[in-house]
A and B are shown apart, each in its own frame.
Chain A
Amino acid sequence: MKILVCISNVPDTTTKINFSDDAKSFVTAGVQFIINPYDEIALTRALELTEAQGGTVTVLHVGDASTEPTIRKALAIGATDAVRVNAAPRDAYFVAKQIAAYAKDQGFDMIMTGRESIDYNGSQVASMVGELLDQPSISIVKVLNVEGTTATLEREIEGGKEVITCPLPLVVSATEGMAEARIPNMRGIMSARTKPLTTIEAIDVPSLQQFVKYDKPAARSQVKLVAADDVKGLVDLLHNEAKAI
Protein backbone atom coordinates (compact mmCIF):
# COMPACT_ATOMS: atom_id res chain seq x y z
CA MET A 1 0.00 0.00 0.00
CA LYS A 2 1.28 3.43 -0.95
CA ILE A 3 -0.01 6.25 1.24
CA LEU A 4 0.55 10.00 1.07
CA VAL A 5 0.01 11.92 4.32
CA CYS A 6 -0.22 15.71 4.03
CA ILE A 7 0.92 17.60 7.11
CA SER A 8 0.75 21.22 8.12
CA ASN A 9 2.96 23.14 10.49
CA VAL A 10 0.89 24.81 13.24
CA PRO A 11 1.45 26.64 16.54
CA ASP A 12 1.59 24.32 19.56
CA THR A 13 -1.83 23.99 21.25
CA THR A 14 -0.65 25.92 24.34
CA THR A 15 0.26 29.00 22.24
CA LYS A 16 -1.23 32.35 23.16
CA ILE A 17 -2.21 33.84 19.82
CA ASN A 18 -1.12 37.41 18.94
CA PHE A 19 -1.41 39.50 15.79
CA SER A 20 0.64 42.34 14.31
CA ASP A 21 -0.38 45.93 15.10
CA ASP A 22 -2.06 46.30 11.71
CA ALA A 23 -4.01 43.07 12.49
CA LYS A 24 -2.96 41.62 9.16
CA SER A 25 -0.66 38.83 10.29
CA PHE A 26 -0.09 36.25 13.01
CA VAL A 27 3.00 36.95 15.13
CA THR A 28 5.21 33.85 14.96
CA ALA A 29 8.06 35.15 17.18
CA GLY A 30 8.56 32.84 20.15
CA VAL A 31 5.95 30.37 18.90
CA GLN A 32 6.71 26.64 19.00
CA PHE A 33 5.50 24.87 15.86
CA ILE A 34 4.30 21.27 15.71
CA ILE A 35 2.73 18.83 13.26
CA ASN A 36 -0.98 19.62 13.16
CA PRO A 37 -2.40 17.15 15.75
CA TYR A 38 -5.08 15.77 13.39
CA ASP A 39 -2.43 15.23 10.68
CA GLU A 40 -0.36 13.32 13.22
CA ILE A 41 -3.35 11.02 13.83
CA ALA A 42 -3.56 10.39 10.06
CA LEU A 43 0.19 9.73 9.91
CA THR A 44 0.04 7.27 12.79
CA ARG A 45 -2.82 5.31 11.23
CA ALA A 46 -1.02 5.24 7.87
CA LEU A 47 2.03 3.76 9.61
CA GLU A 48 -0.08 1.17 11.45
CA LEU A 49 -1.65 0.08 8.15
CA THR A 50 1.64 -0.18 6.23
CA GLU A 51 3.40 -1.92 9.13
CA ALA A 52 0.68 -4.57 9.16
CA GLN A 53 0.23 -4.92 5.39
CA GLY A 54 3.45 -3.64 3.83
CA GLY A 55 3.89 -0.43 1.90
CA THR A 56 5.27 3.08 2.18
CA VAL A 57 4.17 6.33 3.77
CA THR A 58 5.27 9.57 2.12
CA VAL A 59 4.66 12.85 3.93
CA LEU A 60 4.07 16.02 1.98
CA HIS A 61 4.20 19.54 3.34
CA VAL A 62 3.72 22.90 1.66
CA GLY A 63 5.97 25.45 3.35
CA ASP A 64 9.30 27.24 3.32
CA ALA A 65 12.60 25.75 4.55
CA SER A 66 11.94 26.87 8.15
CA THR A 67 9.34 24.09 8.48
CA GLU A 68 11.85 21.26 7.97
CA PRO A 69 12.05 20.36 11.70
CA THR A 70 8.33 19.52 11.54
CA ILE A 71 8.91 17.34 8.46
CA ARG A 72 11.87 15.59 10.17
CA LYS A 73 9.60 14.89 13.15
CA ALA A 74 7.18 13.08 10.80
CA LEU A 75 10.11 11.05 9.46
CA ALA A 76 11.21 10.29 13.05
CA ILE A 77 7.71 9.01 13.84
CA GLY A 78 8.17 6.58 10.97
CA ALA A 79 7.36 7.99 7.51
CA THR A 80 9.42 6.50 4.68
CA ASP A 81 10.27 9.72 2.88
CA ALA A 82 9.13 13.32 2.57
CA VAL A 83 8.38 15.99 0.00
CA ARG A 84 8.36 19.71 0.67
CA VAL A 85 6.64 22.00 -1.79
CA ASN A 86 8.70 25.15 -1.49
CA ALA A 87 6.06 27.89 -1.06
CA ALA A 88 4.13 29.71 1.63
CA PRO A 89 0.78 27.91 2.06
CA ARG A 90 -1.38 30.86 0.96
CA ASP A 91 -4.75 29.17 1.47
CA ALA A 92 -6.37 25.73 1.35
CA TYR A 93 -7.05 25.86 -2.41
CA PHE A 94 -3.39 26.67 -3.09
CA VAL A 95 -2.26 23.76 -0.88
CA ALA A 96 -4.79 21.32 -2.38
CA LYS A 97 -3.62 22.24 -5.90
CA GLN A 98 0.03 21.54 -4.92
CA ILE A 99 -0.90 18.17 -3.41
CA ALA A 100 -3.00 17.17 -6.43
CA ALA A 101 -0.25 18.25 -8.85
CA TYR A 102 2.32 16.12 -7.00
CA ALA A 103 0.08 13.09 -6.38
CA LYS A 104 -1.51 12.93 -9.85
CA ASP A 105 1.02 10.51 -11.39
CA GLN A 106 2.31 8.81 -8.24
CA GLY A 107 -0.32 6.08 -7.90
CA PHE A 108 -1.09 6.55 -4.19
CA ASP A 109 -3.69 4.13 -2.84
CA MET A 110 -4.71 6.63 -0.24
CA ILE A 111 -4.13 10.31 0.49
CA MET A 112 -4.66 11.33 4.10
CA THR A 113 -4.91 14.64 5.99
CA GLY A 114 -6.23 15.74 9.36
CA ARG A 115 -9.86 16.91 9.60
CA GLU A 116 -8.65 20.53 9.81
CA SER A 117 -5.56 22.45 10.80
CA ILE A 118 -5.75 24.01 14.26
CA ASP A 119 -4.63 27.42 12.92
CA TYR A 120 -6.93 28.35 10.01
CA ASN A 121 -9.51 25.59 10.68
CA GLY A 122 -10.38 25.25 7.01
CA SER A 123 -11.38 21.55 6.80
CA GLN A 124 -10.96 21.96 3.06
CA VAL A 125 -7.85 20.28 1.74
CA ALA A 126 -8.97 16.61 1.72
CA SER A 127 -12.21 17.25 -0.20
CA MET A 128 -10.48 19.64 -2.59
CA VAL A 129 -7.75 17.09 -3.38
CA GLY A 130 -10.45 14.44 -3.94
CA GLU A 131 -12.28 16.76 -6.30
CA LEU A 132 -9.12 17.76 -8.19
CA LEU A 133 -8.12 14.10 -8.66
CA ASP A 134 -11.71 12.95 -9.29
CA GLN A 135 -11.46 10.53 -6.36
CA PRO A 136 -13.91 9.91 -3.51
CA SER A 137 -13.12 11.75 -0.29
CA ILE A 138 -14.46 11.02 3.17
CA SER A 139 -14.08 13.67 5.84
CA ILE A 140 -13.86 13.51 9.63
CA VAL A 141 -13.16 9.79 9.82
CA LYS A 142 -12.66 8.15 13.21
CA VAL A 143 -12.11 4.53 12.17
CA LEU A 144 -10.17 3.43 9.07
CA ASN A 145 -9.43 -0.14 8.02
CA VAL A 146 -8.20 -1.49 4.69
CA GLU A 147 -8.66 -4.99 3.39
CA GLY A 148 -7.26 -5.72 -0.06
CA THR A 149 -8.38 -2.81 -2.20
CA THR A 150 -11.37 -1.78 -0.09
CA ALA A 151 -11.41 0.66 2.82
CA THR A 152 -14.01 0.53 5.57
CA LEU A 153 -14.50 3.79 7.43
CA GLU A 154 -16.59 5.30 10.20
CA ARG A 155 -17.23 8.97 9.86
CA GLU A 156 -18.68 11.32 12.42
CA ILE A 157 -22.22 12.65 11.86
CA GLU A 158 -24.41 14.74 14.18
CA GLY A 159 -25.42 12.51 17.07
CA GLY A 160 -23.91 9.33 15.64
CA LYS A 161 -21.78 7.71 12.98
CA GLU A 162 -21.91 6.45 9.43
CA VAL A 163 -20.12 3.27 8.32
CA ILE A 164 -18.91 3.44 4.72
CA THR A 165 -16.99 1.21 2.36
CA CYS A 166 -15.00 2.58 -0.55
CA PRO A 167 -12.61 1.09 -3.09
CA LEU A 168 -9.06 2.52 -3.20
CA PRO A 169 -7.84 5.05 -4.19
CA LEU A 170 -9.50 7.56 -1.94
CA VAL A 171 -8.83 10.64 0.17
CA VAL A 172 -9.48 10.56 3.93
CA SER A 173 -9.46 13.26 6.60
CA ALA A 174 -8.80 11.96 10.11
CA THR A 175 -10.22 12.90 13.48
CA GLU A 176 -9.65 11.71 17.03
CA GLY A 177 -10.17 8.00 17.61
CA MET A 178 -8.47 6.80 14.41
CA ALA A 179 -5.11 6.29 16.17
CA GLU A 180 -3.16 7.40 19.22
CA ALA A 181 -0.19 9.60 18.30
CA ARG A 182 3.26 8.04 18.89
CA ILE A 183 6.31 9.53 20.51
CA PRO A 184 9.33 9.02 18.24
CA ASN A 185 12.08 6.85 19.74
CA MET A 186 15.83 7.50 19.53
CA ARG A 187 16.25 5.16 16.57
CA GLY A 188 13.51 6.98 14.71
CA ILE A 189 15.08 10.35 15.45
CA MET A 190 18.52 9.17 14.27
CA SER A 191 17.22 7.58 11.06
CA ALA A 192 15.08 10.64 10.27
CA ARG A 193 18.24 12.62 9.56
CA THR A 194 19.15 10.49 6.59
CA LYS A 195 15.71 9.70 5.16
CA PRO A 196 15.04 11.34 1.77
CA LEU A 197 13.46 14.80 1.90
CA THR A 198 12.87 16.14 -1.60
CA THR A 199 12.07 19.77 -2.31
CA ILE A 200 9.92 20.65 -5.30
CA GLU A 201 8.75 24.01 -6.62
CA ALA A 202 5.12 25.10 -6.41
CA ILE A 203 2.76 25.38 -9.37
CA ASP A 204 0.90 28.62 -10.06
CA VAL A 205 -2.60 28.78 -8.61
CA PRO A 206 -5.10 31.61 -9.18
CA SER A 207 -5.95 33.55 -6.04
CA LEU A 208 -9.61 33.32 -5.04
CA GLN A 209 -9.43 34.79 -1.56
CA GLN A 210 -7.34 36.71 0.91
CA PHE A 211 -7.08 36.82 4.70
CA VAL A 212 -7.42 40.54 5.41
CA LYS A 213 -7.69 40.96 9.16
CA TYR A 214 -7.48 39.06 12.45
CA ASP A 215 -8.75 39.79 15.93
CA LYS A 216 -9.41 38.02 19.19
CA PRO A 217 -12.75 37.34 20.91
CA ALA A 218 -13.79 40.09 23.33
CA ALA A 219 -12.88 39.27 26.92
CA ARG A 220 -15.80 38.39 29.18
CA SER A 221 -16.70 40.75 31.99
CA GLN A 222 -15.94 39.74 35.56
CA VAL A 223 -17.46 36.41 36.57
CA LYS A 224 -20.51 36.66 38.83
CA LEU A 225 -20.05 34.17 41.67
CA VAL A 226 -23.05 32.50 43.27
CA ALA A 227 -22.77 30.85 46.70
CA ALA A 228 -22.69 27.04 46.62
CA ASP A 229 -25.81 26.90 48.83
CA ASP A 230 -27.75 29.27 46.54
CA VAL A 231 -28.06 27.13 43.42
CA LYS A 232 -31.60 28.41 42.96
CA GLY A 233 -30.09 31.89 42.64
CA LEU A 234 -28.02 30.65 39.69
CA VAL A 235 -31.12 29.29 37.96
CA ASP A 236 -32.85 32.67 38.48
CA LEU A 237 -29.87 34.52 36.99
CA LEU A 238 -29.71 32.19 33.99
CA HIS A 239 -33.42 32.70 33.35
CA ASN A 240 -33.97 36.37 34.16
CA GLU A 241 -30.60 38.00 33.52
CA ALA A 242 -28.78 35.83 30.96
CA LYS A 243 -32.02 34.59 29.29
CA ALA A 244 -30.17 31.34 28.64
CA ILE A 245 -32.85 28.96 29.96
Chain B
Amino acid sequence: MSVLVYAENANGKFKKSSFEVVSYGYSIAQQMGVPCVAISIGDVSNDELTKLALYGAAKVLTVNNDQMKAFVNQAYGSVIAEAAKAEGSKVVVLSASFSGKGLAPRVAVKLEAGYVDGAVSLPDMSAGFTVRKGAFSGKAFADVTLTSDVKVIALMPNAYKVVENAQSANIVAFTPNVNNNDFKTMIKEIVRAADKVSLPEAEIVVSGGRGLKGPENWGMVEELANLLGAATACSKPVSDAHWRPHSEHVGQTGIAVSPNLYIAIGISGAIQHLAGVSSSKVIVVINKDTEAPFFKAADYGIVGDAFEVVPKLIEAVKEFKSVNA
Protein backbone atom coordinates (compact mmCIF):
# COMPACT_ATOMS: atom_id res chain seq x y z
CA MET B 1 0.00 0.00 0.00
CA SER B 2 1.04 3.59 -0.54
CA VAL B 3 -0.08 7.11 -1.30
CA LEU B 4 0.89 8.19 -4.83
CA VAL B 5 1.55 11.84 -5.60
CA TYR B 6 1.96 13.28 -9.09
CA ALA B 7 4.54 16.09 -9.09
CA GLU B 8 4.02 18.32 -12.11
CA ASN B 9 6.99 20.16 -13.62
CA ALA B 10 7.30 23.14 -15.94
CA ASN B 11 10.44 23.07 -18.11
CA GLY B 12 12.05 20.49 -15.81
CA LYS B 13 11.44 22.44 -12.59
CA PHE B 14 8.87 21.57 -9.96
CA LYS B 15 6.45 24.26 -8.97
CA LYS B 16 5.46 25.23 -5.44
CA SER B 17 2.15 23.41 -5.98
CA SER B 18 4.11 20.19 -6.60
CA PHE B 19 5.79 20.50 -3.20
CA GLU B 20 2.37 21.23 -1.70
CA VAL B 21 0.95 17.96 -3.05
CA VAL B 22 3.97 15.98 -1.81
CA SER B 23 3.66 17.55 1.67
CA TYR B 24 -0.08 16.81 1.62
CA GLY B 25 0.40 13.25 0.35
CA TYR B 26 3.06 12.61 3.00
CA SER B 27 0.66 13.69 5.73
CA ILE B 28 -2.07 11.31 4.46
CA ALA B 29 0.48 8.50 4.17
CA GLN B 30 1.58 9.09 7.78
CA GLN B 31 -2.03 8.81 8.96
CA MET B 32 -2.45 5.57 7.01
CA GLY B 33 0.94 4.21 8.09
CA VAL B 34 2.12 3.71 4.49
CA PRO B 35 4.90 5.30 2.40
CA CYS B 36 4.37 8.31 0.15
CA VAL B 37 5.54 7.67 -3.43
CA ALA B 38 5.95 10.51 -5.92
CA ILE B 39 5.84 10.22 -9.70
CA SER B 40 7.38 12.70 -12.14
CA ILE B 41 6.89 12.59 -15.91
CA GLY B 42 9.21 14.32 -18.37
CA ASP B 43 12.78 15.54 -18.47
CA VAL B 44 13.69 16.34 -14.85
CA SER B 45 17.23 16.22 -13.42
CA ASN B 46 18.15 14.02 -10.46
CA ASP B 47 18.89 17.10 -8.37
CA GLU B 48 15.39 18.34 -8.99
CA LEU B 49 13.83 14.90 -8.32
CA THR B 50 15.70 14.75 -5.00
CA LYS B 51 13.70 17.77 -3.84
CA LEU B 52 10.57 15.60 -3.73
CA ALA B 53 12.24 13.45 -1.04
CA LEU B 54 12.78 16.59 1.02
CA TYR B 55 9.01 17.03 1.33
CA GLY B 56 8.29 13.41 2.21
CA ALA B 57 8.52 11.14 -0.85
CA ALA B 58 10.09 7.84 0.28
CA LYS B 59 10.35 6.82 -3.36
CA VAL B 60 10.41 8.92 -6.52
CA LEU B 61 9.31 7.29 -9.77
CA THR B 62 10.63 9.05 -12.85
CA VAL B 63 9.22 8.51 -16.32
CA ASN B 64 11.55 9.74 -19.03
CA ASN B 65 9.93 8.73 -22.28
CA ASP B 66 10.51 10.64 -25.53
CA GLN B 67 6.79 10.70 -26.31
CA MET B 68 5.98 12.13 -22.89
CA LYS B 69 8.38 15.05 -22.62
CA ALA B 70 5.45 17.45 -22.95
CA PHE B 71 2.07 17.10 -21.28
CA VAL B 72 -0.39 14.77 -23.00
CA ASN B 73 -3.50 14.47 -20.88
CA GLN B 74 -4.50 10.98 -21.99
CA ALA B 75 -1.02 9.42 -21.84
CA TYR B 76 -0.11 10.97 -18.48
CA GLY B 77 -3.40 9.68 -17.08
CA SER B 78 -2.57 6.15 -18.24
CA VAL B 79 0.92 6.32 -16.71
CA ILE B 80 -0.26 7.61 -13.33
CA ALA B 81 -3.02 4.99 -13.14
CA GLU B 82 -0.52 2.25 -14.06
CA ALA B 83 1.92 3.47 -11.39
CA ALA B 84 -0.90 3.57 -8.81
CA LYS B 85 -1.68 -0.08 -9.56
CA ALA B 86 2.00 -1.08 -9.47
CA GLU B 87 2.51 0.69 -6.13
CA GLY B 88 -0.77 -0.54 -4.63
CA SER B 89 -1.78 3.08 -4.02
CA LYS B 90 -5.07 3.60 -2.20
CA VAL B 91 -4.89 7.39 -2.49
CA VAL B 92 -3.62 9.37 -5.49
CA VAL B 93 -2.97 13.11 -5.09
CA LEU B 94 -2.51 15.68 -7.88
CA SER B 95 -2.53 19.46 -7.98
CA ALA B 96 -5.74 21.14 -9.14
CA SER B 97 -3.62 23.11 -11.61
CA PHE B 98 -4.88 23.75 -15.14
CA SER B 99 -3.27 20.50 -16.31
CA GLY B 100 -4.16 18.61 -13.12
CA LYS B 101 -7.84 19.46 -13.52
CA GLY B 102 -7.84 17.81 -16.93
CA LEU B 103 -5.71 14.87 -15.86
CA ALA B 104 -7.10 13.75 -12.48
CA PRO B 105 -10.61 12.75 -13.72
CA ARG B 106 -9.03 10.42 -16.29
CA VAL B 107 -6.95 8.80 -13.55
CA ALA B 108 -10.07 8.45 -11.38
CA VAL B 109 -12.05 6.72 -14.15
CA LYS B 110 -9.19 4.31 -14.88
CA LEU B 111 -8.97 3.37 -11.19
CA GLU B 112 -12.77 3.43 -10.63
CA ALA B 113 -11.96 5.85 -7.85
CA GLY B 114 -14.10 8.45 -6.15
CA TYR B 115 -12.60 11.83 -6.87
CA VAL B 116 -12.55 15.25 -5.20
CA ASP B 117 -11.40 18.27 -7.20
CA GLY B 118 -10.16 21.37 -5.40
CA ALA B 119 -9.61 19.87 -1.92
CA VAL B 120 -8.81 22.54 0.67
CA SER B 121 -7.74 20.43 3.66
CA LEU B 122 -6.51 17.00 4.70
CA PRO B 123 -9.05 14.15 4.57
CA ASP B 124 -10.87 13.31 7.78
CA MET B 125 -10.27 9.58 8.25
CA SER B 126 -11.90 9.26 11.69
CA ALA B 127 -15.01 7.69 10.15
CA GLY B 128 -14.51 6.90 6.50
CA PHE B 129 -12.66 9.27 4.20
CA THR B 130 -14.11 12.77 3.92
CA VAL B 131 -12.53 15.62 2.02
CA ARG B 132 -13.49 19.29 2.17
CA LYS B 133 -13.69 21.26 -1.06
CA GLY B 134 -14.90 24.63 -2.28
CA ALA B 135 -18.42 24.71 -3.77
CA PHE B 136 -20.74 27.25 -5.35
CA SER B 137 -17.65 29.01 -6.70
CA GLY B 138 -16.33 30.20 -3.37
CA LYS B 139 -19.71 30.87 -1.75
CA ALA B 140 -19.60 27.60 0.24
CA PHE B 141 -17.69 24.47 1.19
CA ALA B 142 -18.80 20.87 0.67
CA ASP B 143 -17.65 17.77 2.55
CA VAL B 144 -17.42 14.77 0.24
CA THR B 145 -17.09 11.21 1.53
CA LEU B 146 -15.26 8.91 -0.87
CA THR B 147 -16.54 5.34 -0.54
CA SER B 148 -14.46 3.67 -3.27
CA ASP B 149 -11.44 1.45 -2.55
CA VAL B 150 -9.05 3.84 -4.33
CA LYS B 151 -9.44 7.62 -3.91
CA VAL B 152 -8.18 10.48 -6.08
CA ILE B 153 -7.75 14.03 -4.78
CA ALA B 154 -6.79 17.20 -6.67
CA LEU B 155 -5.46 19.72 -4.14
CA MET B 156 -6.27 23.41 -4.57
CA PRO B 157 -3.07 25.47 -5.03
CA ASN B 158 -2.16 27.54 -1.91
CA ALA B 159 -4.54 25.51 0.29
CA TYR B 160 -1.87 23.40 2.04
CA LYS B 161 1.47 24.63 3.30
CA VAL B 162 4.72 23.15 2.04
CA VAL B 163 6.31 21.19 4.92
CA GLU B 164 9.76 19.60 4.96
CA ASN B 165 9.78 15.89 5.90
CA ALA B 166 13.17 14.83 4.61
CA GLN B 167 13.44 11.23 3.41
CA SER B 168 16.52 9.64 1.88
CA ALA B 169 16.17 10.06 -1.85
CA ASN B 170 15.28 6.84 -3.66
CA ILE B 171 14.88 7.64 -7.35
CA VAL B 172 13.61 4.79 -9.50
CA ALA B 173 12.99 4.78 -13.27
CA PHE B 174 9.43 3.73 -14.13
CA THR B 175 8.81 2.34 -17.61
CA PRO B 176 5.12 2.39 -18.45
CA ASN B 177 3.27 0.43 -21.11
CA VAL B 178 2.76 2.92 -23.91
CA ASN B 179 -0.53 2.94 -25.81
CA ASN B 180 -0.25 4.79 -29.11
CA ASN B 181 -3.93 5.71 -29.00
CA ASP B 182 -3.03 8.04 -26.10
CA PHE B 183 -0.98 10.36 -28.30
CA LYS B 184 -3.47 11.99 -30.68
CA THR B 185 -2.95 15.54 -29.46
CA MET B 186 0.10 17.52 -30.52
CA ILE B 187 1.47 20.61 -28.81
CA LYS B 188 2.34 23.29 -31.36
CA GLU B 189 3.47 26.03 -29.05
CA ILE B 190 3.81 26.86 -25.36
CA VAL B 191 3.76 30.54 -24.46
CA ARG B 192 4.76 31.49 -20.92
CA ALA B 193 5.37 35.03 -19.77
CA ALA B 194 8.63 34.43 -17.92
CA ASP B 195 8.39 37.48 -15.68
CA LYS B 196 4.76 37.01 -14.66
CA VAL B 197 3.58 35.38 -11.45
CA SER B 198 0.88 32.78 -12.17
CA LEU B 199 -2.48 33.92 -10.78
CA PRO B 200 -3.89 30.68 -9.26
CA GLU B 201 -0.62 30.00 -7.41
CA ALA B 202 0.24 33.58 -6.41
CA GLU B 203 0.74 34.36 -2.71
CA ILE B 204 -0.14 38.00 -3.29
CA VAL B 205 -2.64 39.29 -5.87
CA VAL B 206 -3.16 42.93 -6.89
CA SER B 207 -6.50 43.32 -8.63
CA GLY B 208 -8.10 46.27 -10.44
CA GLY B 209 -11.69 47.12 -11.28
CA ARG B 210 -13.73 49.60 -13.25
CA GLY B 211 -12.68 52.31 -10.80
CA LEU B 212 -9.36 52.46 -12.67
CA LYS B 213 -11.28 53.96 -15.62
CA GLY B 214 -9.28 52.40 -18.47
CA PRO B 215 -6.55 49.95 -19.49
CA GLU B 216 -4.02 52.79 -19.77
CA ASN B 217 -4.13 53.14 -15.98
CA TRP B 218 -2.89 49.62 -15.20
CA GLY B 219 0.74 50.75 -14.96
CA MET B 220 0.44 51.42 -11.25
CA VAL B 221 -1.29 48.07 -10.66
CA GLU B 222 1.57 46.29 -12.40
CA GLU B 223 4.19 48.33 -10.57
CA LEU B 224 2.67 47.51 -7.19
CA ALA B 225 2.39 43.84 -8.18
CA ASN B 226 6.03 43.72 -9.30
CA LEU B 227 7.20 45.26 -6.03
CA LEU B 228 5.24 42.69 -4.00
CA GLY B 229 6.07 39.71 -6.24
CA ALA B 230 2.33 39.51 -6.88
CA ALA B 231 0.13 38.42 -9.77
CA THR B 232 -2.21 40.94 -11.40
CA ALA B 233 -5.94 40.29 -11.65
CA CYS B 234 -9.16 42.10 -12.49
CA SER B 235 -12.93 42.07 -12.09
CA LYS B 236 -15.35 40.76 -14.73
CA PRO B 237 -16.41 44.14 -16.21
CA VAL B 238 -12.72 44.85 -16.85
CA SER B 239 -12.08 41.62 -18.78
CA ASP B 240 -15.47 41.88 -20.54
CA ALA B 241 -14.40 45.33 -21.78
CA HIS B 242 -11.10 43.76 -22.93
CA TRP B 243 -9.05 46.12 -20.77
CA ARG B 244 -7.33 43.00 -19.44
CA PRO B 245 -7.24 39.35 -20.66
CA HIS B 246 -9.90 36.86 -19.48
CA SER B 247 -7.14 34.83 -17.81
CA GLU B 248 -6.91 37.62 -15.19
CA HIS B 249 -10.64 37.61 -14.35
CA VAL B 250 -11.15 36.64 -10.72
CA GLY B 251 -14.66 35.74 -9.61
CA GLN B 252 -17.45 33.20 -9.80
CA THR B 253 -17.17 32.70 -13.56
CA GLY B 254 -13.43 33.34 -13.67
CA ILE B 255 -10.55 32.14 -11.51
CA ALA B 256 -10.99 31.44 -7.80
CA VAL B 257 -7.89 32.47 -5.89
CA SER B 258 -6.70 31.81 -2.33
CA PRO B 259 -3.63 34.00 -1.81
CA ASN B 260 -2.21 35.22 1.50
CA LEU B 261 -3.01 38.78 0.47
CA TYR B 262 -5.57 40.12 -2.02
CA ILE B 263 -5.46 43.86 -2.77
CA ALA B 264 -8.59 45.11 -4.57
CA ILE B 265 -8.32 48.53 -6.19
CA GLY B 266 -11.43 50.23 -7.55
CA ILE B 267 -13.55 47.06 -7.31
CA SER B 268 -16.99 47.53 -5.72
CA GLY B 269 -17.34 43.89 -4.62
CA ALA B 270 -20.30 42.34 -6.44
CA ILE B 271 -21.36 38.96 -5.01
CA GLN B 272 -19.84 37.18 -8.03
CA HIS B 273 -16.44 38.78 -7.43
CA LEU B 274 -16.48 38.13 -3.67
CA ALA B 275 -17.11 34.43 -4.38
CA GLY B 276 -13.79 34.18 -6.22
CA VAL B 277 -11.73 35.77 -3.43
CA SER B 278 -13.44 34.44 -0.29
CA SER B 279 -10.60 32.01 0.50
CA SER B 280 -7.99 34.78 0.51
CA LYS B 281 -6.35 35.02 3.93
CA VAL B 282 -6.12 38.83 4.08
CA ILE B 283 -8.14 41.22 1.91
CA VAL B 284 -7.32 44.91 1.43
CA VAL B 285 -9.83 47.15 -0.34
CA ILE B 286 -9.05 50.57 -1.80
CA ASN B 287 -12.16 52.34 -3.03
CA LYS B 288 -13.40 55.91 -3.04
CA ASP B 289 -16.98 54.82 -2.34
CA THR B 290 -17.53 54.32 1.41
CA GLU B 291 -20.62 52.24 0.57
CA ALA B 292 -18.76 49.74 -1.66
CA PRO B 293 -19.92 46.26 -0.53
CA PHE B 294 -16.31 45.02 -0.70
CA PHE B 295 -15.51 46.86 2.58
CA LYS B 296 -17.85 44.42 4.37
CA ALA B 297 -15.77 41.49 3.11
CA ALA B 298 -12.36 43.07 3.74
CA ASP B 299 -9.84 42.97 6.59
CA TYR B 300 -8.29 46.35 5.85
CA GLY B 301 -9.62 49.25 3.83
CA ILE B 302 -8.73 52.70 2.62
CA VAL B 303 -11.52 55.00 1.51
CA GLY B 304 -9.86 57.14 -1.11
CA ASP B 305 -9.17 57.79 -4.75
CA ALA B 306 -7.08 54.99 -6.25
CA PHE B 307 -5.14 57.49 -8.33
CA GLU B 308 -3.91 59.18 -5.13
CA VAL B 309 -3.69 56.16 -2.80
CA VAL B 310 -1.93 53.63 -5.06
CA PRO B 311 1.09 55.82 -5.97
CA LYS B 312 1.55 56.52 -2.23
CA LEU B 313 1.22 52.81 -1.50
CA ILE B 314 3.90 52.07 -4.10
CA GLU B 315 6.25 54.54 -2.36
CA ALA B 316 5.43 53.07 1.06
CA VAL B 317 6.10 49.52 -0.16
CA LYS B 318 9.40 50.63 -1.74
CA GLU B 319 10.44 52.14 1.58
CA PHE B 320 9.34 49.00 3.45
CA LYS B 321 11.28 46.79 1.02
CA SER B 322 14.43 48.89 1.37
CA VAL B 323 14.32 48.46 5.15
CA ASN B 324 13.19 44.80 5.20
CA ALA B 325 15.08 43.52 2.16
Contacts and interface: CB of A to CB of B under 8 A. Distances in A.
Given A158-B198, A209-B146, A244 B261 contact: yes
A127 B103 contact: yes
B303 interface: yes
What class of interface size applies to chain B in its complex with A? 35 or more
Contact of B272 (A13, A131, A160): A13
B142 A226 contact: no
Given A11-B136, A164-B188, A220-B298, A121 B118 contact: yes
Interface in B188-237: 188-193, 196-201, 204, 228
A223 B271 CA distance: 17
Interface in B81-129: 96-99, 101-106, 108-110, 112-118
Contacts of B256: 121
Interface string A146-185: 0000001001111111111111001001011100000000
B299 to A, nearest CB: 6
A215 to B, nearest CB: 6
A217 B246 CA distance: 26
A122 B134 CA distance: 9
Interface stretch (B25-33, B61-69, B276-284): B276-284
A142 B255 CA distance: 13
B316 A232 contact: yes
Contact of A164 (B146, B185, B320): B185
Nearest to B253: A37
A17 B140 contact: yes
Interface string B284-325: 110000000001111111111100110011011101100010
B299 A231 contact: no
B108 A128 contact: yes
Given A158-B198, A167-B184, A232-B316, A214 B74 contact: no
B268 interface: no
B261 A132 contact: no
Nearest to B192: A160
Given A228-B302, A235-B313, A119 B98 contact: no
B282 A214 contact: no
B239 interface: yes
B272 A140 contact: no
Contact of B282 (A134, A212, A235, A244): A244
A242 interface: yes
A72 to B, nearest CB: 22
A224 interface: yes
Contact of A234 (B105, B147, B196, B302): B302
Contacts of B148: 208-209
A123 interface: yes
A69 B10 CA distance: 44
B249 A213 contact: no
B145 A209 contact: yes
B109 A128 contact: yes
In the A-B complex, the 4 residue pairs with the smallest Cβ-Cβ separation, listed nearest first, are A228-B304, A139-B102, A208-B114, A158-B198
15 contacts: A13-B271, A14-B271, A17-B139, A93-B115, A124-B117, A138-B102, A140-B102, A156-B247, A157-B98, A158-B15, A164-B188, A166-B186, A176-B254, A212-B130, A220-B299
